[in-house]
Amino acid sequence: MTLPQHHDIVVIGAGIAGATIANELLERGKAVCILDSAPLPASACSSHAYAIAHPHVGRGAPRLLRLTHIAFLMAEARWGKVWNQHGIFQPVKKDKPFNYEEFVGHLKVLELSEEIARVLYAEEALRICGIEQDGIWIARGASMNLSSATSEALKPHPQLTCCWSTPVSRLKKVGAGWQLLNHQDEPIMTARKVIITASLETKNLVASVGVRLPLRPVRGQLSIFSVPEHDDWVEKLPKTAISGDGYCLPAKQLLDGSYRWIVGSSFDEGEVDVQDWASSDDANREQAKGLLNYPEGETSHLLKTGSFVGIRCVAGDRLPIIGALTQRPGIFLATALGSRGVLWSALAAKLITAQVLEDDFALLARLGFATDLVAALAPTRFFAGALASEPALGALASNSKPILPSGPKAK
Ligand SMILES: Cc1cc2nc3c(=O)[nH]c(=O)nc-3n(C[C@H](O)[C@H](O)[C@H](O)COP(=O)(O)OP(=O)(O)OC[C@H]3O[C@@H](n4cnc5c(N)ncnc54)[C@H](O)[C@@H]3O)c2cc1C
């Protein structure tokens, strides 16, 4: 009989979150074992080839704005090879008056330099990005193939062990670490530190150590449309990506003269069906009209040629869950990446690595992680009293309303 293996650090889940964290640990000279229930990496939500990335520039909670800014800079610095910078235009909401100065002031408050984001009147937007709408031009906005990025992060490395087709069913405390068990309740391996990046399945895995997390599925479908060469839509098609109510990528002309245009995405709360839905394509056709401000556009001319369907994992408060599960020492979580897999995986790589390697807080602060931001992401935000004392036994019931220390007000 062969004894199960032991690893110092194990990552459960080889989507963009797990791969990015494993890669960061390898770069820091650590040996890592990553395992996934699927026979290959990026088989689930991270099979997504058309994910966009930009800092949040609209109105929103100050913490979210600061976090997406830091995470965007981290993602941009990390993904050189697969980072496809084409710029992203964010039109102003049509039902709100557009006050140029107010928008400029807002970007200043966010400390976003003009090089990253600037306010444009419709005429300038038409010249720069081919979109005749008032809005914010995020010149450094990009898109990325999450599947290629995951594979790139997990390319062979002497310190990397990959275990495919290895589903983990539960965790059990053993000595100073954790044992991973399969569905037959047989031990797979033991580890001193376990990083769980299994998207929605994280909920079951942490439930096996008596912790409940408020994670929910949100199905999403992107549509790949073909637009005939001489169609009325052609002169409206964007040269850049647009992010507003939904998003789209720059339209691309193919050799036969037609255009390929990717538009999305639906946001179906509580749904886990990965089949393609005709109703989602119809919703995306309507979003296409809204994004281009083209209400008279004939939706039947957007011919569907393909789609991407994925199940996002979201937390009750819509922020990702990234950090040490302090009630269960040695377990770390990076899940609930929602619709921001590119940004949150880059941020998770830095934050989780710092916590796993027990870097000092000064280093985290240099990366932009102020205490209130770390607390806003921490799994412990869902547990009343969890920061004060640790119940030795029994389930830690989650509360979908997070408990956070108050952060500095937006300047
Ligand atoms: C329609 C749509 C559009 C989107 N657009 C964008 C976008 O524009 N920009 C953006 O940044 N993000 C976008 N996203 C979100 C992005 O795709 C996700 O946030 C990201 O892929 C999540 O990555 P992950 O690693 O957390 O999860 P996943 O990729 O789902 O990986 C989880 C892994 O864990 C494994 N696993 C699960 N359970 C177990 C177990 N018990 N044992 C072992 N392994 C297990 C799975 O096999 C899987 O490989 C979009 C998502 C959708 C659906």
CB distance 211 to 325 below 8 Å: yes
The residue among 245, 268, 283 whose CA lies nearest residue 314 is 268
Ligand 1 atom closest to 167 (CA): 42
Q: Check residue 362 and give its pLDDT.
A: 79
Q: Check residue 3 and give its pLDDT.
A: 56
Choose the final residue of a domain: 250, 276, 311: 311
Kindly state whether residues 303 and 378 are assigned to the same domain. no
Q: Check residue 366 and give its pLDDT.
A: 83
Q: Please give the Cα distance from 143 to 87 (Å, whole number).
A: 9
Mutate to test the pocket of ligand 1, among 267, 287, 339 (most ligand atoms within 8 A of CB): 339
DSSP state of 32: E
Kindly state whether residues 245 and 257 are assigned to the same domain. yes
CATH number of the structural domain spanning residue 273: 3.30.9.10
Instruction: Enter the tokens of residue 161.
Output: 């062990």
Kindly state whether residues 320 and 306 are assigned to the same domain. no
Kindly state whether residues 322 and 346 are assigned to the same domain. yes
Kindly state whether residues 370 and 257 are assigned to the same domain. no
CB distance 156 to 95 below 8 Å: no
Whole-number Å distance, alpha carbon 158 to ligand 1 midpoint, is: 26
Length of the chain in terms of residues written? 411
Ligand 1 atom closest to 38 (CA): 47
Kindly state whether residues 190 and 275 are assigned to the same domain. no
Q: Check residue 384 and give its pLDDT.
A: 59
Whole-number Å distance, alpha carbon 45 to ligand 1 midpoint, is: 3
Kindly state whether residues 155 and 242 are assigned to the same domain. no
DSSP state of 300: G
Q: Check residue 390 and give its pLDDT.
A: 42
Mutate to test the pocket of ligand 1, among 88, 199, 216 (most ligand atoms within 8 A of CB): 199
Kindly state whether residues 67 and 178 are assigned to the same domain. yes
Beta strand pairing call for 259-264 and 246-248? antiparallel
The residue among 112, 59, 106, 119 whose CA lies nearest residue 411 is 106
Report the pocket of ligand 1 as residue ranges, CB < 6 Å: 12-18, 35-38, 43-46, 48, 51-53, 146, 167-168, 197-199, 201, 220-222, 264-265, 310, 312, 335, 337-343
CB distance 383 to 399 below 8 Å: yes
The residue among 119, 122, 111 whose CA lies nearest residue 136 is 119
Q: Please give the Cα distance from 146 to 339 (Å, whole number).
A: 12
> Which residue range forms the structural domain that includes residue 130?
88-139
| Successive 10-residue mean pLDDT values, the chain, 411 residues | 81 98 97 98 97 91 91 95 94 85 91 92 91 94 97 97 98 96 97 98 97 96 97 94 95 97 95 97 96 95 97 94 96 98 97 91 82 93 57 42 40 30
Whole-number Å distance, alpha carbon 308 to ligand 1 midpoint, is: 12
For ligand 1, atom 13: residue with the closest CA: 339
Q: Cα(first)–Cα(last) distance of the chain, in Å?
A: 63
Q: Check residue 156 and give its pLDDT.
A: 97
Instruction: Enter the tokens of residue 116.
Output: 């990253």
Q: Check residue 129 and give its pLDDT.
A: 84
Q: b/e map of 190-199 (b: 16 or more CB within 10 Å)?
A: bbebbbbbbb
Choose the final residue of a domain: 99, 119, 139: 139
Whole-number Å distance, alpha carbon 247 to ligand 1 midpoint, is: 18
Instruction: Enter the tokens of residue 4.
Output: 């199960």
Kindly state whether residues 130 and 166 are assigned to the same domain. no
Q: Before 223, cis peptide (omega within 30)?
A: no
- The count of domains in the chain is 3
Choose the final residue of a domain: 311, 340, 373: 311
Kindly state whether residues 79 and 7 are assigned to the same domain. yes
Q: Which amino acid is at 51?
A: A
Whole-number Å distance, alpha carbon 110 to ligand 1 midpoint, is: 28
Kindly state whether residues 111 and 235 are assigned to the same domain. no
Whole-number Å distance, alpha carbon 96 to ligand 1 midpoint, is: 34
Kindly state whether residues 35 and 133 are assigned to the same domain. no
Q: Please give the Cα distance from 209 to 223 (Å, whole number).
A: 39
